[in-house]
Amino acid sequence: MPNRFGLQVILLIIISRSLFINYNFAEWGDSYHYIKAGEYITKFSYPKEEKRLPLYPLVISLGSLTPNPIVFARYINFIIFVLSILLTYDISYRVFKSQTASFLTVLILAFNPLFFYWSLRIMAINLLALLVIVSVWIKVRLRSKYKYLVLGLLSGLAFLTRFDGLLLFFSFAFVLLYKRRFLDLVKLSSASLVTVSPWLLRNQIMFGSFYKSNYFSELSQFSYGLTDAMVWLATVLFLFCAPYIWSFLTKKVSIKLVDPVWITYFLLIIILNFLWPAAVPRLFVPVLPIISVSIVGLLLIVNLEKKEVKKGLFLILAFFVLRSLVRRPFLLFGKFGLLFVLFFNLISLFWASLNFKITKIFAVLVLLMAQFIVLYSVLKLHKNVGRTVLEASNYALSKKGLIAYSDETGVTQYYLNNDRGLRFNQSLSAKDQYNWVKENKVLYIVETSERNEGEALDFFNDIGYSNKVSVVFESKSNVGDTAIWSRVYKVIEN
């Protein structure tokens, strides 16, 4: 049970997070797929073409019965965030028997830029992170012959949340196999199989195969190069905005203090992120609670020797060299932000190297300041994602008539994909596009610079057809240094 100060820290975290429930103007494309799948679930169905797994849509499904399913799902995410923080606090205390380590752990986790930002998004990765935390909590707390049946159930639920949730099962299974605990392995496997079997049987009946998704076929579409490797390495180093922490996490005493299941799971996540560059750094989110417990607890009890300090300085330098060579949203925090993060890393390493309890606490608090700088930059950078296309869609919906769109933001598909919206996805000449518009009696067209990656409906950019439409609405914004816009065209009747 947290002491009074610990409770105050947790309350501060919860209040801070609550202020950001509706921070983002719009959601990512996947978010709308989850909400739509949830709507199907309330009708005792599931979309056949949906490649995403059903547990997260089930959790947010009741939102489709409310006036605003998006806001409902955001509140569900808030609850998931709070549960994650509370369980992480308890895990840290059970492992290190320290209230100080516990409240510092939840501070570092809660305001980690990756963890905080993705907790705002309607994405299954948040539920997967909670299931991983619950699994760790059960392993730490439960002393029962049924423990591995429960862990098998949780592993199955993790798989039903995201395909990479299967790594949780592999982590438990590998350690049990290594330790020759075959009875526990049978319990784990049986419970997992029973949990996922309804979904597998559904796929077998509907598609003639237990597995039905094109996720893994996407691997062949990824190109791997030096830049991808540098992004991956920079992300790993910067997971907690302090590259030097890896200098003491590799010490033998540190490895002995950390559960082998945690280590296995973390290594599998690192490998998966390397194989799946399109999802970096989001795939790291489920492992952040585990690493935060390890980082803070070990930082407070493990003394840094001179060689670790030198390694820490090298890792800080290595990250900032990589940061100067690659540009990714998670790693963008401006020149002044970069200098402040560098400064706080050096100060934090200095305090940690003094090896006194009070200076180690200062080291964690300074690390927290570096996280605040990066978190501010991440939130500011992503706030306007989807804003212009959402405003354009709402304007088009305020008018009468059929609306055509061709972008892949997910925003237009969610808001317009009813009797008012018509998706264009064909390779046609300007003349044939215009004929398609006339044949389908389209009156308005939404065009955006945000994720307009497919076959664009843009016949009006041809000089011969520029007089066939008129711009009736335009929304402009910025995502970082990139200017984005969305427009609504009205088709001129001849």
Domain extent listing, the chain:
4-141+214-382, 387-491
Closest listed residue to residue 304, CA positions, set 264, 341, 253: 253
pLDDT band per the 50, 70, 90 thresholds, residue 96: confident
pLDDT, mean of residues 215-226? 67
Alpha-carbon span 164 to 160, nearest angstrom = 10
Alpha-carbon span 238 to 22, nearest angstrom = 27
Alpha-carbon span 164 to 158, nearest angstrom = 8
For 160-195, the pLDDT digits (tens) are: 999 999 999 999 999 999 999 999 999 999 999 999
The chain-wide mean pLDDT, for the chain, equals 88
Alpha-carbon span 181 to 187, nearest angstrom = 10
Write down the architecture of domain 387-491 according to CATH. Answer: 3-Layer(aba) Sandwich (3.40)
Which DSSP helix (H) or strand (E) runs through 405?
strand 402-405
pLDDT band per the 50, 70, 90 thresholds, residue 325: confident
Asked whether the predicted pLDDT for residue 488 surpasses 90, the reply is: yes
User: Which pTM value belongs to this model?
Assistant: 0.93
Residue 254: per-residue pLDDT: 55
Task: Respond yes or no on whether the N-terminal peptide bond of residue 281 is cis (omega within 30° of 0).
Answer: yes
pLDDT, mean of residues 222-232? 79
Closest listed residue to residue 293, CA positions, set 53, 87, 461, 11: 87
- Percent composition of the chain: helix, strand, coil (DSSP 3-state, to 5): 65, 5, 25
Judge whether 450 and 388 are in contact, CB under 8 Å.
yes
pLDDT band per the 50, 70, 90 thresholds, residue 452: low
Judge whether 395 and 471 are in contact, CB under 8 Å.
no
Asked whether the predicted pLDDT for residue 253 surpasses 60, the reply is: no
Which DSSP helix (H) or strand (E) runs through 474?
strand 469-479
Judge whether 106 and 84 are in contact, CB under 8 Å.
no
pLDDT band per the 50, 70, 90 thresholds, residue 337: confident
For 285-317, the pLDDT digits (tens) are: 999 998 888 888 778 887 888 888 898 899 999
Residue 59: per-residue pLDDT: 97
Alpha-carbon span 470 to 296, nearest angstrom = 59
pLDDT band per the 50, 70, 90 thresholds, residue 10: very high
Asked whether the predicted pLDDT for residue 366 surpasses 90, the reply is: yes
Question: What value, to the nearest 5°, has the Cα angle with vertex 70 and ends 375 and 329?
Answer: 25
CA atoms within 13 A on the CB side of 304: 30
Alpha-carbon span 356 to 300, nearest angstrom = 9
pLDDT, mean of residues 40-60? 93
Residue 15: per-residue pLDDT: 96
Residue 213: per-residue pLDDT: 67
% of the chain surpassing 70 pLDDT = 94
Stretch among 238-247, 255-264, 396-405 having the lowest mean pLDDT: 255-264
